[in-house]
Chains A and B, each alone.
Chain A
Amino acid sequence: MAISLAESVYIGLIDVSTRKVRTAVTLFGIVLGVMSIMVVLAIVNGMNEVTLDWMQQRGGLNKIQISMNWDYDFSRGGEATFSMREVDYLRSQLEDVEAFNPQVQAWGSIVQFRDSDFETSAMGVYPDLQKVEDWELEKGRFINLDDIRNHNNVIVLGSTVAENLFRNRNPLGQYVTLNKQQLMVIGVLKSKYWKNQGDGAFSGNVLEYMNRQVFLPLSTMIAKVNPNLKVSSIEIKVLPGKDISKVKRQAEDLVLNIKRGKQLFRVSSAQEEMQMMKKSMVIFTVIFFLIAMISLLVGGIVITNIMLASVKERTREIGVRIAVGARGKDILIQFLVQTMLITTLGGVFGIFAGIAILDVVAGFLDITLKAAPNMIWVALLVSASTGLIFGIGPAYKASKLDPVKALMED
């Protein structure tokens, strides 16, 4: 013997439609609150998408980097470099590794082709670099194990380097000069591109520096081009599905062991880097989250008051319902459903309003906002819960009315 939910919804719909102005007033705070929540979610979502895209362009999230520890006091002795023996040892000890690339780097190298030259960052690398940094080839091939073993005089060019030295000509098979060594071009890389927001100092393609690099076999680089160079950083890609932080800890322990307890290197993961990037955006999220919470709170208090007034105004109706057999639960559900209908309706309007202002907010704050389907569910859930939280008091009051007194009310 109970009134069904559908029945409560029906009663609620009639109530809402007969009290349009009141409903509209009640809706306002909820619309504002849900709208803000939509913006918050779009910011978070946009941030995630942007950072993820950024990380992916640079080789994905399962990347671990071993590089110099800037916090180490090098006056105490020690050098943040690895010998080839240490590199090989590290490679042999690490588990769950998909790709492993030790590298040496010569900044400010000049690469020449006939009468053109270009200032570049020359990298001595393993074939695995291609996997670690997700490089694709425009033409030719990348460095292979034979090149490493035989110290081949070969070079792979970044897209900007190739463009500057060769213009429209085909660079494959041509010889360029780097530090007096003749190197044959075996491949040209596809350019990497990632557009930063806004028009400040860091606008444009932030990954352009990668297109300005040239790559040689690590062995060739050390043996022939620049004998003074030592491996100063190692990039590792963890096998998909494997525990990245486990590999990271393993790498930390091994490096510390190799260097006899000296903290010469820092081991960092792309995941951590992403967390850092997200943190920098947290302030916007907090502000809009606060706006959302305050709007919902104010909206909720308005709802409580309006529902209390509604209960008072409808005392006789409640009395009649109780007289003909409604139990406390029926009345409670009726008012609760009505409140939740109103707030959910507000939520629906809020969703539309939120989507409508996303572009405005994105333009104003100069950040990427992105709507996602799950935002709609969150918004509906939040608006319905607001109705539940702020409607339960008035509904409870209605359910406890004394029918005798309620029927005598004018």
Chain B
Amino acid sequence: MEIIKTIGLIKDYDLGKVKVRALNGVDLTIETGEFVAIMGPSGSGKSTLMHIIGCLDSPTEGDYYLDGTLVSKMSRNELAAIRNAKIGFVFQSFHLLPHLNILKNVELPLMYAGLSGKQRSLKAREILDSVGLSDRLKHKPGELSGGQRQRVAIARAIVNKPSIVLADEPTGNLDSTSGGDILEIFERLHRQGNTMIIVTHDAAVAARADRIVQIHDGRIEDGD
């Protein structure tokens, strides 16, 4: 089953006098349960593609179906609901909220989903346990190592049981050991049936995926 299907995605950025075409007709299909790496040099459009796949941005033209739903024409608020329910983000620089403890950080998507405090706490503890951080619940992100922080971010990404996990250079700020741990967690999540999408320029990271999608000048070059 297709979890992601884009047809002729075009994204233009209006920079005053010049218009920049970041995506120039992207057709991409990703099946449920796939582990896909999106690769490309900087400026290739891979970040733009990730933002659109992650419903943080909308294409200028073209259609994007997520889980069978056309999301490319949705309003800001509708997209917020889609992000909350179907997408888990893992960022290069973790993007945890520094003044909240890690339990509260992981509860964040559940809060916006409208779950009660009790349910949130229960689910967040369970997920943090699965990434090996159950003894750090009350710690602030600043008290954790980079690898631990990224594990918190992964916990936050998957706590809502999303349709896809979208990771943007997830090992970019980590040493090789911690990076390896993170990739192992990704592989485990993949084995458990999650759809994983990693955006990276690191070939070693991309090699862990089932499939590598190369993007260059706003177009997909090699789709197999």
Contacts and interface: CB of A to CB of B under 8 A. Distances in A.
Interface of A: 1-3, 7, 14-15, 18, 316-317, 319-330, 403-404, 407
Given A322-B80, A323-B83, A330 B112 contact: yes
A329 B100 CA distance: 21
Give chain A's interface secondary structure class. Answer: helix
B56 interface: yes
Contacts of A320: 95-97, 108
B77 interface: yes
B114 A2 contact: yes
A7 B113 contact: no
Given A1-B114, A330-B112, A404 B84 contact: no
B56 A325 contact: no
A258 to B, nearest CB: 76
Given A1-B114, A404-B56, A326 B80 contact: yes
User: In which size bucket is the chain B interface?
Assistant: 20 to 34
7 nearest A-B residue pairs (beta carbon)? A325-B84, A325-B112, A324-B109, A327-B80, A1-B114, A320-B95, A403-B56
A324 B97 contact: no
B80 A325 contact: yes
B91 interface: yes
Nearest to B91: A407
Contact of A1 (B51, B54, B57, B112): B112
Contacts of B111: 3, 7
**Residue of B80, B95, B99, B111 most packed against chain A (CB within 10 A):** B80
B188 interface: no
B108 A321 contact: yes
A404 B112 contact: no
A1 B84 contact: yes
Contact of A407 (B81, B95, B109): B95
Given A324-B84, A325-B112, A317 B97 contact: yes
Interface string B116-143: 0000000000000000000000000000
Contacts of B57: 404
Contacts of B114: 1-3
Contacts of B112: 1, 3, 321, 324-327, 330
B166 to A, nearest CB: 10
Nearest to A406: B56
Given A324-B112, A325-B83, A325-B113, 19 more contacts: A1-B84, A3-B111, A3-B114, A14-B99, A14-B100, A319-B95, A320-B95, A320-B108, A321-B97, A321-B108, A322-B56, A322-B80, A323-B54, A324-B89, A324-B108, A324-B109, A324-B156, A330-B112, A407-B56
A7 B100 CA distance: 13
Contact of A324 (B51, B77, B83): B83
B95 A1 contact: no
Nearest to B156: A324
Contacts of A403: 56
A18 B99 contact: yes
Contacts of B81: 1, 325, 327
B76 interface: yes
A14 B97 CA distance: 12
11 contacts: A3-B112, A14-B99, A14-B100, A15-B99, A316-B95, A320-B95, A320-B108, A321-B108, A324-B112, A325-B84, A407-B56
Nearest to A317: B97
A329 B80 CA distance: 11
B35 to A, nearest CB: 22
A328 B108 contact: no
Contact of B51 (A3, A328, A404): A404
B102 to A, nearest CB: 14
Given A1-B112, A3-B111, A18-B99, A323 B56 contact: yes
A327 B84 CA distance: 10
B4 to A, nearest CB: 18
B85 interface: yes
A74 B83 CA distance: 89
